[in-house]
């Protein structure tokens, strides 16, 4: 009786292909002499047979229609009729075995296992792509951080510190992005007065003021950048999701309370688009629904840019009138990301929405890079933050990883690969459109995608109501009280 090994869930195998081992040379030779045996004609008359493995008496068979004729039960019944066949097994897929990264805090990055990042790294081909640019519009980045410096974008058309606009783009000495908050060339993390949270006694609205003596570095942007592309395998700190991609620092938020304006964000987005960014991370937002911004995000989407946006941290339904923007704009190029805990349940603070939130990703106790200290020059440090600001860069990093593997992918194809490969989670069934949480390995392995996404329904009328300035992530004043530092 011919032995047929059924294809298991793991390891992976090529659909519709198998390797047949013959008992002796005579059986193999009968196949190699361009004679199609009866079992092969029964199985698939258009199948192809490769007899190159003659040393081992093995034939490689490829079915012309794997879906119709490639199931293993059919194969077993058919091949059992030939007494010259010893066994048949799947054509397994193998990957290079990369060493586990040696970054010192790797064991604290629980979300890597949760999103199957390790599996994805094993499958990813080595790449030297430096033209995959992820723009981080945030509070600035400590771009000389020990775990970031090697993956920071540089404007090679600009001559440093010559006080000239060498590339004629309207920005002088913009070698490392631009600061649209202070309108200068330093898109860096600044030392600011410590934020003090409160409530306006007249309106009841959230109020943030500056502490008179205490100071704190702007950490948010550096934390986001590290999650996306901290240098991997450098025996230091953490490992970003993507490897050998470039982070473009664009400071659009600032001050002790981490605030920014629509104009500053729009300028940052325009800069990102004009300077080659294919992916933009926006761990920011508000409940202001702007027709101008809606039109701008549509234009960016049409231009081929993927925008990864935090769903928000108010536990609101983004399908309702208190939706968070830009995550809830209908542009097809936007991916809206909710936050999950280690048990795959939605984080208590996370916004949700079966229509306007696309998928979830880990967003609780996410360890990443930060600037630290109270001197004018920050030290290199690490801390764990929670928020949808932390879940968005995990998705942005995944998108960058996929794009580095296949730079021909469009923004909508990238989005489709990420959304169509989620791990379905019962707790997310009514919380996000896909009903699932990011799986980077599945996304990397996704070959057939439907790039066109259904447009979200029209948004409610613009509202003037305000919410805490948490820019989609955790409130700045929570950094020290609710985080653990490494």
Catalytic positions, written as ranges: 138, 220, 389
272 sits in which H/E element: helix 262-274
Based on its alpha-carbon atoms, the radius of gyration of the chain, rounded to whole angstroms, reads 26
Cβ–Cβ < 8 Å for 390, 228:
no
Cβ–Cβ < 8 Å for 300, 331:
yes
128: left (phi over 0), alpha (psi -120 to 50) or beta: alpha
Cβ–Cβ < 8 Å for 132, 276:
no
b/e per residue 268-288 (b: at least 16 CB within 10 A): bbebbbebebbbbbbbbbbbb
Cβ–Cβ < 8 Å for 318, 457:
no
Q: Which residue has the tokens 């942005």?
A: 396
- Concatenating the DSSP letter of every residue in 413-465 gives HHHHHHHTTPEE-GGGTTTBTTSEE--HHHHHH------PPPPPPPPPPP---
CA distance 183 to 181: 6
Distance in Å from the first CA to the final CA of the chain:
61
CA distance 232 to 313: 29
CA distance 197 to 209: 7
């Amino acid at each position: 009786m011919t032995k047929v090994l059924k294809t298991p869930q793991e390891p992976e195998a090529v659909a519709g292909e198998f390797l047949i081992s013959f008992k002796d040379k005579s059986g193999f030779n009968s196949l190699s002499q361009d004679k199609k045996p009866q079992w092969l004609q029964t199985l698939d008359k258009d199948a192809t047979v490769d007899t190159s493995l003659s040393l081992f008496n093995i034939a490689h068979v490829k079915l012309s229609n794997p879906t119709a004729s490639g199931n293993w039960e059919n194969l077993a019944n058919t091949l059992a009729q030939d007494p010259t066949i010893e066994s048949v097994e799947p054509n397994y897929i193998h990957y290079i075995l990369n060493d586990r990264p040696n970054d010192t805090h790797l064991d604290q990055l629980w979300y890597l296992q949760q999103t199957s990042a390790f599996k994805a790294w094993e499958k990813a081909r080595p790449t030297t792509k430096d033209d995959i640019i992820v723009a981080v519009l945030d509070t600035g980045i400590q771009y000389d951080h020990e775990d970031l410096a090697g993956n920071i974008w540089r404007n090679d058309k600009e001559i440093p510190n010559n006080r000239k606009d060498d590339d004629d783009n309207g920005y002088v000495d913009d070698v490392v992005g631009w600061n649209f908050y202070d309108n200068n060339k330093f898109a860096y993390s600044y030392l600011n007065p410590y934020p003090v949270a409160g409530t306006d006694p007249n309106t009841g609205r959230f109020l943030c003021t500056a502490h008179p003596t205490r100071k704190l570095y702007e950490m948010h942007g550096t934390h986001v950048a590290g999650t996306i592309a901290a240098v991997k395998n450098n025996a230091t700190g953490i490992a970003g999701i993507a490897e050998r991609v470039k982070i473009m620092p664009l400071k659009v938020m600032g001050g002790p309370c981490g605030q920014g304006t629509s104009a500053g964000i729009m300028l940052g987005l325009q800069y990102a688009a004009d300077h080659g960014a294919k992916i933009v991370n926006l761990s920011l937002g508000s409940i202001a629904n702007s027709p101008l911004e809606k039109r701008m995000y549509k234009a960016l989407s049409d231009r081929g840019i993927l925008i990864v946006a935090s769903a928000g941290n108010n536990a609101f339904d983004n399908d309702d009138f208190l939706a968070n923007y830009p995550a809830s704009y209908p542009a097809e190029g936007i991916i809206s990301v909710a936050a999950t805990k280690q048990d795959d349940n939605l984080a208590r603070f996370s916004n949700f929405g079966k229509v306007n939130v696309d998928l979830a990703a880990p967003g609780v106790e996410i360890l990443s890079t930060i600037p630290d200290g109270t001197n004018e020059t920050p030290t290199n440090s690490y801390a764990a933050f929670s928020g949808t600001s932390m879940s968005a860069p995990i998705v942005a990093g995944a998108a960058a990883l996929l794009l580095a593997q296949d730079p021909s992918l469009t923004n909508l194809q990238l989005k489709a690969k990420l959304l169509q490969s989620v791990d379905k989670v019962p707790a997310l069934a009514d919380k996000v459109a896909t009903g699932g949480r990011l799986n980077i390995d599945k996304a990397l392995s996704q070959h057939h995608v439907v790039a066109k996404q259904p447009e979200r329904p029209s948004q409610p009328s613009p509202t003037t109501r305000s919410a805490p300035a948490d820019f989609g992530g955790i409130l700045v004043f929570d950094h020290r009280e609710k985080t653990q530092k490494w």
